[in-house]
């Protein structure tokens, strides 16, 4: 294998390998967003989701959600509890998100709004319950007398670590108590930020050194109907006023059905921008283009005047949106992210605590949509955005399956759009592992002019797409690695790529496989995670040509190769999809003053069914070795079923 270090080719974009985040599999509420109370504000269509009454014999006479005299008119529902007699057992329990993960000695802040319209309940007895109801932390929360709402707070410090704790609130006395905005939030968050994120999960993201963060999805963007589409404006501002919504993945169409899934939007667009900044990733929001999911309702917003009409700063509520509404949302988002403090939406960002712009450069328009309805909405949308923000890169969607006719049609029509309206086409590939190995050369002969490619969602599904038995095996990850050598080799065309989905809760997922799995306390990266990490950390700066022995083709006999320059280093990625070791002769042709020792990062397992788990999080993880070179040449033996990243410095 000869790597032409003296012939650097296309630049590898800084955005090459990034992240796809969607609130699927409890990725946000119950995952990255660490609020422990489920349904804290009683605003869902099923207002008592997550709560259970403690009847205290017959002592509890009221357990009801009401709206008269609310604490916050923007979030009008609250819970009324009334005990006819004093009981040690009259109150409520919140079960959290498949339990609440709490750690010994750490602090958890309970906040709530309360009032005492009648009777003599002077305190709430607050307990964090562990195994079989054993108390992990207990405290009494005094309830001031009176019919006015009061904000109350206390800190709980569990005596033990437990993944499935519950919060128990008991009335101390007889009488009526109203509760709202009941929150239990860990003090320890990512960089200690209030309303901050779960640190171990953010760290796993940061460790991937991602080039971009795509959010908020996925199908979440579209909604099953337009009424439950993602509306970014309703996810910013005061957290207490953000209205929750049933999650689009709360559906029998998912690989697995979880009927209790909702979105609180505590993690909203401001927090996504902050997260992008924290992990050094370019933010890439995907917006709705006036179409609900084409698989579900295919509901369309009328085209309207096909241009922005609403005044700047207009904050549309649940309405009958036309395409203009969606265009205005996009323009307002750019102003929110990048505008000065003097602009209406820029001022909203500043008020939320981020005076500096977020420097948003990319915007996705629709997700997995195709056909004439998409194209006739895309064009006026793109024209309006480009007219006001010509430098913003627009990402258009293509149909869902790369082998489908709709996909080819969408891609063809997008390529025919007026110049400059489509910067990147978002292609998705969910397929069996062999598809990835067989299509590693997908972009080798792709047109070099026109829109670039954003490989916005991909993952190998060993049991076929949609099968709940799919596992994150080494077979899947190694096949993705083979495919990624083709992405890297064609970095002039493929400018961004992200595995999907990103997160899954082991007790509450709807889709598998996924990149990172977690429970309420711990998390681990799958073999696919380490493949992503090796490519991302070693993405380099320029593609280098690779020459194989005469007659051999990349991908032949299970050998896949790509190479990049990384400053003065040469990095070669080799996939050996074979059960036997494979000796290779490496010639780093043209590398000036090559070092005598190189570094090898090896991800290998002879058993293709190998997986990581909460118990064995690094069963399969890269091992670092060194290897010898003589004048830029080396004999190297690739392990059976392995991804090897060889790095050689120029001295
Ligand atoms: O990644 C899961 C789903 O797969 C995404 O929401 C959607 O875009 C795709 O069909």
Q: How would DSSP label each residue in 288-357?
A: --SB--TTTT--B---TTSS--SPTT----S----HHHHHHHHHHHHHHHH--TTSHHHHHHHHTT--S-
List all residues 6 or more positions away from 474 whose beta carbon is below 8 Å from its beta carbon: 527, 605, 607, 608, 609, 610, 611, 620, 641
Examine the domain organization and report whether 417 and 364 are in the same domain.
Answer: yes
The total domain count for the chain is: 3
Sign of the CA dihedral with 384 first, then 212, 610, and 509 last: negative
Query: What was the pLDDT predicted at 254?
Result: 67
pLDDT digits (tens, 9 = 90+) for 579-621: 999 999 999 999 999 999 999 999 999 999 999 999 999 999 9
Nearest alpha carbon, ligand 1 atom 3:
218
Lowest-pLDDT range, 147-161, 368-382, 607-621?
368-382
Residue 27 has pLDDT above 60, yes or no: yes
The parent domain of residue 164 ranges over 51-186
Closest ligand 1 atom to the C-alpha of 459? 1
In a domain, residue 39? The reply is no
In a domain, residue 571? The reply is yes
Examine the domain organization and report whether 500 and 403 are in the same domain.
Answer: yes
Query: What was the pLDDT predicted at 134?
Result: 96
Which tokens in the block code for residue 625? 């070795």
How far apart are alpha carbons 303 and 221 in whole angstroms? 19
Half-sphere exposure of 427 (CA within 13 A, CB side): 25
**Best substitution site from 261, 368, 407, 410 to test ligand 1's pocket, by max atoms within 8 Å of Cβ?**
368
pLDDT digits (tens, 9 = 90+) for 98-125: 999 999 999 999 999 999 999 999 999 9
- Measure Cα distances from 61 to 83, 352, 382 in Å: 6, 42, 57
The yes/no answer to whether this complex scores an ipTM above 0.90 is: yes
Query: Which residues are registered as beta bridge partners of 17?
Result: 497
Residue 94 has pLDDT above 70, yes or no: yes
Nearest alpha carbon, ligand 1 atom 2:
501
Query: What was the pLDDT predicted at 413?
Result: 87
pLDDT digits (tens, 9 = 90+) for 524-567: 999 999 999 999 999 999 999 999 988 999 999 999 999 999 99
Q: How would DSSP label each residue in 145-187?
A: SEEEEEEEEEEE--SS-EEEEEEEEEEESSEEEEEEEEEEEES
Closest ligand 1 atom to the C-alpha of 20? 1
Confidence band (pLDDT; 50, 70, 90) for 370?
A: confident
Examine the domain organization and report whether 274 and 377 are in the same domain.
Answer: yes
Q: Could you tell me the CATH number of the domain that includes residue 304? A: 3.20.20.80
Q: Average pLDDT, stretch 10-38?
A: 98
Strands (E), 442-558: 452-460, 494-499, 503-505, 516-518, 523-525, 542-544, 546-547
Residue 368 Cα, ligand 1 centroid: separation in angstroms? 8
In a domain, residue 329? The reply is yes
Give yes or no for a cis peptide into 211 (omega within 30° of 0).
no
Residues with CB under 6 A from ligand 1: 22, 24, 217-219, 367-368, 400, 457, 500-501, 511
Q: Could you tell me the CATH number of the domain that includes residue 612? A: 2.60.40.1180
368, 457, 480, 488: which is the annotated catalytic residue? 368
Which tokens in the block code for residue 556? 């032949």
Examine the domain organization and report whether 492 and 357 are in the same domain.
Answer: yes
- Measure Cα distances from 210 to 123, 499, 607 in Å: 48, 11, 29
Examine the domain organization and report whether 177 and 195 are in the same domain.
Answer: no
Examine the domain organization and report whether 202 and 297 are in the same domain.
Answer: yes
SS3 label, residue 96: strand
User: Which residue, 141, 157, 186, sits at the end of a domain?
Assistant: 186
Lowest-pLDDT range, 74-88, 407-421, 618-632?
407-421
Examine the domain organization and report whether 551 and 499 are in the same domain.
Answer: no
Examine the domain organization and report whether 147 and 209 are in the same domain.
Answer: no
Examine the domain organization and report whether 450 and 598 are in the same domain.
Answer: no
Closest ligand 1 atom to the C-alpha of 367? 8
User: Which residue, 480, 502, 537, sits at the end of a domain?
Assistant: 537
Examine the domain organization and report whether 276 and 306 are in the same domain.
Answer: yes
SS3 label, residue 573: strand
Q: Could you tell me the CATH number of the domain that includes residue 126? A: 2.60.120.260
Nearest alpha carbon, ligand 1 atom 7:
218
Q: Is 488 a catalytic residue?
A: no
pTM above 0.90, yes or no: yes
Nearest alpha carbon, ligand 1 atom 8:
218
Q: Average pLDDT, stretch 148-152?
A: 97
Examine the domain organization and report whether 381 and 488 are in the same domain.
Answer: yes
Q: Is there a contact between 54 and 90 (Cβ–Cβ < 8 Å)?
A: yes
User: Which residue, 537, 571, 601, sits at the end of a domain?
Assistant: 537
How far apart are alpha carbons 410 and 347 in whole angstroms? 38
How far apart are alpha carbons 426 and 609 in whole angstroms? 30
């Amino acid at each position: 294998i000869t790597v032409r270090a003296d012939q650097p080719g296309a630049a590898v974009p800084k955005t090459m390998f990034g992240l796809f985040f969607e609130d699927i599999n409890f990725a946000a509420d119950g995952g990255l967003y660490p609020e422990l109370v489920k349904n804290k504000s009683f605003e869902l269509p099923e207002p008592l989701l997550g709560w259970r009454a403690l009847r205290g014999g017959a002592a509890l006479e009221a357990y009801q959600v009401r709206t008269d005299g609310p604490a916050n008119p923007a979030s009008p529902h609250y819970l009324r509890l009334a005990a006819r007699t004093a009981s040690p057992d009259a109150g409520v329990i919140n079960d959290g998100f498949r339990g609440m993960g709490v750690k010994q000695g750490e602090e958890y802040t309970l906040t709530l709004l309360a009032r005492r319209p009648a009777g003599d309940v002077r305190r709430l007895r607050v307990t964090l319950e562990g195994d079989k109801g054993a108390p992990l932390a207990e405290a009494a929360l005094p309830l001031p007398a009176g019919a006015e709402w009061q904000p109350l707070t206390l800190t709980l410090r569990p005596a033990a670590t437990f993944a499935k704790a519950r919060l128990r609130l008991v009335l101390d006395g007889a009488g009526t108590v109203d509760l709202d905005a009941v929150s239990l939030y860990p003090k320890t968050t990512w960089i200690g930020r209030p309303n901050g994120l779960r640190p171990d999960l953010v760290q796993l993201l940061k460790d991937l050194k991602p080039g971009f963060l795509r959010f908020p999805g996925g199908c979440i963007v579209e909604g099953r109907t337009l009424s439950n589409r993602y509306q970014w404006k309703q996810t910013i501002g005061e957290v207490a006023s953000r209205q929750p919504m049933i999650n689009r993945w709360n559906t029998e169409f998912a690989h697995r059905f979880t009927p209790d899934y909702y979105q609180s939007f505590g993690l909203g667009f401001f927090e996504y921008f902050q997260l992008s900044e924290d992990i050094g990733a370019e933010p890439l929001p995907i917006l709705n283009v006036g179409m609900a999911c084409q698989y579900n309702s295919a509901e369309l917003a009328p085209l309207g005047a096909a241009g922005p009409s609403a005044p700047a700063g207009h904050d549309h509520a649940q309405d009958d949106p036309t395409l203009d509404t969606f265009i205005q949302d996009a323009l307002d988002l750019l102003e929110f992210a990048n505008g000065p403090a003097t602009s209406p939406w820029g001022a909203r960002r500043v008020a939320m605590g981020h005076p500096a712009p977020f420097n948003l450069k990319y915007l996705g328009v629709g997700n997995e949509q195709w056909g004439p309805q998409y194209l006739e909405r895309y064009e006026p949308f793109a024209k309006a955005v480009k007219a006001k923000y010509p430098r913003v890169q627009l990402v258009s969607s293509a149909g869902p399956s790369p082998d489908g006719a709709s996909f080819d049609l969408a891609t063809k029509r997008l390529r025919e759009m007026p110049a400059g309206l489509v910067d990147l086409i978002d292609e998705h590939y969910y397929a069996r592992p062999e598809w990835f190995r067989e299509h590693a050369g997908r972009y080798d002969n792709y047109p070099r002019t026109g829109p670039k490619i954003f490989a916005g969602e991909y993952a190998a599904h060993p049991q076929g797409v949609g099968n709940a038995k799919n596992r994150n095996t080494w077979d899947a990850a190694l096949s993705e690695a083979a495919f990624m050598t083709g992405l890297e080799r064609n970095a002039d065309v493929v400018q961004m790529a992200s595995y999907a989905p990103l997160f899954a809760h082991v007790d509450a997922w709807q889709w598998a496989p996924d990149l990172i799995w977690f429970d309420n306390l711990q998390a681990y990266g799958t073999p696919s995670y380490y493949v992503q990490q090796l490519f991302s950390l070693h993405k380099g700066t320029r593609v280098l040509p690779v020459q194989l022995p005469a007659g051999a083709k990349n991908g032949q006999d299970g050998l896949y190769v790509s190479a990049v320059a990384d400053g003065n280093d040469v990095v070669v990625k080799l996939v050996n999809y074979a059960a036997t070791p494979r000796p290779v002769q490496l010639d780093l042709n043209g590398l000036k003053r090559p070092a005598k020792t190189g570094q090898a990062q090896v991800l290998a397992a002879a058993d293709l069914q190998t997986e990581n788990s909460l118990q064995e999080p690094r069963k399969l993880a890269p091992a670092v070795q060194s290897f010898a070179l003589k004048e830029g040449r080396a004999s190297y033996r690739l392990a059976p079923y392995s991804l090897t990243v060889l790095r050689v410095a120029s001295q």
